[in-house]
Amino acid sequence: MRVGVDYYPEHWDKSLWAADADLMKQTGVKLVRMAEFAWCRLEPRDGVFDFSWLDEAVALFADRGIDVVLCTPVSCPPLWLYEKHPDIVHVEKDGTPTRLGIRSHRCVTNPVFLQYADRITIEMAKHYAGNAAVVGWQINNELEAYFCYCGHCIDKYRTWLQEKYGSLENLNRAYGNVVWSGEYSSWAQVTPPFGTLPHAWQNPAYMLDYYRFCSDNVIDFSNRQAAQLRQYCPGRPVTTNVWFCEHMPDFYKQFDGLDFISYDNYPATRLPSDPESCYSHAFHLDMMRGVKRQPFWIMEQLSGGKGCWAPMEKPPLPGMIRGYALQAFAHGADTVVHFRWRTANIGAEMHWHGLLDHSNVPGRRFREFADMCIEANALEKLQGTEIKADVAILFAFDNEYAFRIQPQTDGYYYMEQLQRLHRAFMGLGLNVDIIGQHEKLDGYRIVCAPEMYVTDAGVVERLNEFAMKGGTVILTTRSGVKDRNNNALMTLLPGPYQEMAGVHAVEYAPIGWEAVSVLFGDGTELQAKQWCDVLETDTAEVLASYNGDYYCGAPAITRNACGQGQVYYIGTVGTQPVYDRVAGMAAEKAALPVIAGLPPRVEIVTRTGREASAKFIFNNDDQPKSFVMDGQEISLAPFEMKVVLI
């Protein structure tokens, strides 16, 4: 378990570098990431490269036994390049070029930009190929599947559609373009969604393809960079750092072409008072582990108070620096790199705090970081231990995109039910995987398939097979609604899942901010919101019914025997206790080894290995907790992580 820091030698006077490297070594830092925005210093003039300053920095770290990850600096082209080739700039939805001044203004489709990006990448790769201190590469920084409206992107989008559909006739049919006289009669009429109208006004079939195209387009760029790095600097693993943003590329496709996943992890510093809130980053971490189903890195980890484009926030509370880093290790990170070593004294991000403050005087956060480094380094014995999960949750980028395109009802968003199910199963002390919908389901006992909105026939078949063979599937509302093109299926819901769920909806009520209660068989009444499928059972048993509104008495949550397995259907969006209850029932029926009575916000991950196994027990709360596990009293201070060898 390795700890690193993000470091920007180009931001600091050289006189500070050696002292920084010494302090890192003394603290137990094993890795630094550098150079992701440093193009103007690496190629100060067209074709003139200067790696000398970076060589010096790399050598300082190498001398102290600290490894280096370098980044391709292609997110921030130097101004001379924009001046020479103004058209490499990203174009906004109103057709105007983005104005320079911030960062990431370039369009990754533009052939001139690509030539320059190739050149700096190849030069760097060649230069560091023989340098053993450089142990890996990060492509760009937080590559997003931005919408760009430049001519090159439009041409590429048309080509992408031509390859997919072959003819305009097929395309018109797939999109249902007859609506509002939208049929294309020439390829020149096909454009990205220009203008500022909400995307829900656009044709949803067209919009879903456009999201897919933007994702494929940025993946082309990361694959291109990866190929160059591998050719000219062989033997070094390549990644890019991702985050949960508005324009996420399809991580499953993107990381097919890369060696490992890395994620920028900025958990909450202010805990929400609402006990319903799913603020824990455990969900994000489990999702990152699931992308390649292997250990991952945190490339940027919370180190201080956030701020810069927004007003400054409270700094991490005592315990958070240590607790959140160890939480990442618990969920499968093998390297956690803190953003950043020292808070910048210059530039737009001077209020996004690092481990050290502007003063460069080590303070509370730094001391906590130093303690954490000692602990993380002592966890070496758990390197290679696995997180084996009985429970999986399926994720699909098609659904993420489709729900963004067409909001379902007020307050509804895709991640919510996934996060609630995740929290419910974690609350039982179980490991949970979050995996792509196309992954194999072998080895799981319970698979949650929430909001399977855009239907993939192969996935339906696999889930059915999984249940038939004895697995438990948990389905939710908004499943089986759309076909692959994002057009509505002509079927009762949940569409192709009806038979396995043994239930169908005769109507649905999107209730937005309204609430409705659901009554379980034992008289327990819990709250639900946003959506109500009015169900009729075919073969399923009713677990809970609506207790209000015009559909009072209709089934809301059901369970069906499907072959040797079970299929639950949750026809509404519950508050957390609804998912806790369903998860509890499903885990009990599947005889999973739950830990009863875990206090809220206590998270347990079990890592198993041949040599050693451990339970990571984390109190993700600002209040102390205590409970009994295996007959032993466990007490946890706020944000304390206990690693108990088993």
Least distance from C-beta 282 to ligand GAL, angstroms?
Answer: 20
Q: Which residue, 340 or 420, is less far from ligand GAL as judged by CB? A: 340
Answer yes or no: are the C-beta atoms of 470 and 562 closer than 8 Å. Answer: no
**494-513 burial code (b ≥16 CB/10 A, e <16):** bbbbbbbbbbbbeebbbbee
Pick from 349, 357, 400, 533 the residue near ligand GAL by CB under 6 A.
349
Q: Which is nearer to ligand GAL, 340 or 615 (CB)?
A: 340
DSSP-assigned letter for residue 550:
T
Which of 35, 536, 610, 600 lies closest to 279 in space, CA to CA?
A: 600
Q: 350-369: which residues touch ligand GAL (CB under 6 A)? A: 352
Closest residue by beta carbon to ligand GAL:
352
Give the shortest CB-243-to-ligand GAL separation in angstroms.
6
Q: Report phi then psi at 15, rounded to 5.
A: -65, -15
Position 112: which residue type?
A: V
**Matching residue, tokens 């991490």:** 316
CA–chain centroid gap for 476, Å, is: 21
Non-local (6+) Cβ contacts of 212 within 8 A are 250, 398, 401
Contacts with ligand GAL in 208-227 (CB under 6 A)?
none
Q: How many residues bind ligand GAL, per CB under 6 A? A: 9
The alpha carbon dihedral of 352, 102, 156, 117 has a sign of negative
Residue 123 tokens read as 């030069």
Asked whether 416 and 573 are in contact (CB, 8 A), the reply is yes
If the CB atoms of residues 138 and 486 are measured against ligand GAL, the closer one turns out to be 138
Contact status: 20 vs ligand GAL (CB under 6 A): no
Interface positions, 114-173, toward ligand GAL (CB under 6 A): 141-142
Q: Which of residues 528-587 bind ligand GAL (CB under 6 A)?
A: none
| Pair of tokens at residue 309 | 């484009």
Select which of 142, 183, 313, 507 is catalytic.
Answer: 142
Nearest approach in angstroms of CB 370 to ligand GAL is: 22
Catalytic residue among 43, 300, 400, 640: 300
Is the CB of 339 or the CB of 366 nearer to ligand GAL? 339
Residue 640 binding ligand GAL, by CB under 6 A: no
For position 300 contacting ligand GAL by CB under 6 A, the verdict is: yes
Known catalytic membership, residue 514: no
Q: Is 300 tagged catalytic?
A: yes
Which pair of structure tokens corresponds to residue 520? 């379980």
Residue number, 349 or 368, with CB nearest to ligand GAL: 349
φ, ψ for residue 420, nearest 5 deg: -70, -40
Euclidean distance between CA atoms 636 and 639, whole angstroms: 8
Nearer to ligand GAL, 87 or 142 (CB): 142
Neighbours of 412 (CB within 10 A): 20
**Which lies closer to ligand GAL via its Cβ, residue 341 or residue 352?**
352
Which residues, other chains included, contact 642 with Cβ-Cβ below 8 Å and sequence gap of 6+? Answer: 616, 617, 618, 634, 636
Report the SS3 class of residue 555: strand
CB of 624 to ligand GAL, least distance (A): 31
User: Which of 522, 469, 477, 527 shows the shortest CA–CA distance to 504?
Assistant: 477
Minimum distance of ligand GAL from residue 237's CB (angstroms): 19
Cβ count near 187 (within 10 Å): 14
CB of 32 to ligand GAL, least distance (A): 15
Give the per-residue contact string, 252-291, with ligand GAL (x = CB under 6 A; - = no).
------------x---------------------------
Site of interaction with ligand GAL (CB under 6 A): 141-142, 243, 264, 300, 308, 339, 349, 352
Q: Which residues are catalytic?
A: 142, 300
